[in-house]
Structures are given as C-alpha cells and as structure tokens.
Amino acid sequence: MKESARFFIVPTPIGNLEDITLRALRLLKEVDLILAEDTRTSSKLLKHYKIENNLKSYHSFNEHKVQHQVISLLKEGARIALITDAGTPGISDPGYLIIKACLSNNIEVECLPGPTAFVPALIKSGIPTDRFTFEGFLPLKKGRKKKLETLAHETRTMIFYESPHRLLKTLNDFMTIFGNNRQASVSRELTKKYEETMNGDLESIIDYYENNKVKGEFVIIIQGEN
C-alpha cells in the first residue's frame, strides 16, 4: 500500500453554498478523483467554486461495481474524495460500504466535519437534545408498522427524514402511534431562502401541512415518551 493513498469523506452544503469549509474546498481541488452521488448536482457546486477535477458517479445502484474500481485505485496510491448531493456522505446516503472496504484494506479514511441536515433541525426544534436516536427514512411498506411499534415507548428524541410526497402519511402514522398531543418539529429547505420550521403537537402540524404546499426535503423531530 502506497503511503499517499487516502480516502476523504467530504461534507457538502445542504442548501446554502457558503456552508463549506476551506479544507473541503482545498481537498476537492487536490484529490485525484471525486466520487459524487449525482455528478450533475455536484458539478454546480464545483463550478461555483471554480474547481475542475475528475468526477465519477457513485450511488446506491452502482456502489458494488464502483467500489472495486476505487479500492484498486487507492491501492495504487490515489487520493479520492467522496461527496453526496447534500450533507455528509454515509448519513442516509451511500458511503458505508466503501468506507468499510477501505478499512478492510488498511486504507486510511479521513472524515471532515461539516453539514448534516438533522443537526440544525434538532437544535432549533426546542425538543430535548441530550439523548436522541437517528432513524432516517422509515420503511415504505414492509416492516413500516413494526418499526413504528418498536418506537412507541422510545424515551429519547427521535429524528426522521422524509420526502414531500410522503410527509402527511408519515405524520399521520406518527399521530396514530404517538398520539395527537406528542410534541414535534418539522423543518424543510434548511439553510435555503425559504427555510421553514413548524413546532407544535402532531395534530397542529398536520393541520398546517394539509392547508399549505408541501415542498422540499423534510427533517422531522419527535419528542420521546415522557
């Protein structure tokens, strides 16, 4: 293994393009290759910062195939960065498998600090932050009800991600399991121009989104059982 081999996990802005570190920008210029979830989306960020570098697609549909190619390059001494469309790779995005493969092959992995959508959503929710569980996206069908039932008596704050077209269904599922008075917070378009956070009980939040346009990517914070 060549000493120069290094795999970098580089967080990218979740909305506002200014939310990226100087170190991240330097590494994205210096590495031999950038793995991107969607090269079209990442190209906009790189173009904004005048970064010209090699981009290769790496997502959930090709990660097994690309992983072997990347490991081979790293063994030859390459320095490679992994980015995602927004936020930190590996958090509800591809990353886990290739990081595990790097570690299995004694390739050094560095993870830079940076944006992750659930952190600002949790902080501004007003819901306890001392103990929480990150649940990400719920199962769409199989195992969904069972998963929710296992969380019925969870005492820690719960964090979920959701897409706009499933938001109301998910909120109603939460109300069925947790009750209509359970405190919650729903944030969308974090760091963007139309950022919005709704705090209150589940019933009032559902009422708001039944009467307003549901748009953007959502982070849902649910208070644990008292």
The mean pLDDT value of the chain amounts to 95
For the chain, how many helices (H) and strands (E)?
Answer: 8, 10
Domain 118-222 has CATH 3.30.70.260: no
3 pLDDT higher than 80: no
CATH architecture of 6-111: 3-Layer(aba) Sandwich (3.40)
Residue 46 CA, distance from chain mean position:
19
| Contact present, 37 and 93 (Cβ < 8 Å) | yes
Domain boundaries, the chain: 6-111, 118-222
Report the share of the chain in percent with pLDDT over 90. 90
| Contact present, 6 and 30 (Cβ < 8 Å) | no
Residue 109 banded pLDDT, cuts 50, 70, 90: very high
160-209: pLDDT as tens digits: 999 999 999 999 999 999 999 999 999 999 999 999 999 999 999 999 99
Q: What is the pLDDT of residue 63?
A: 84
pTM of the model: 0.91
Q: What is the pLDDT of residue 1?
A: 62
7-29: pLDDT as tens digits: 999 999 999 999 999 999 999 99
> What is the C-alpha separation between 97 and 89, in angstroms, rounded?
11
| Contact present, 222 and 184 (Cβ < 8 Å) | yes
223 pLDDT higher than 90: yes
| Contact present, 59 and 38 (Cβ < 8 Å) | yes
92 pLDDT higher than 90: no
> What is the C-alpha separation between 1 and 56, in angstroms, rounded?
23
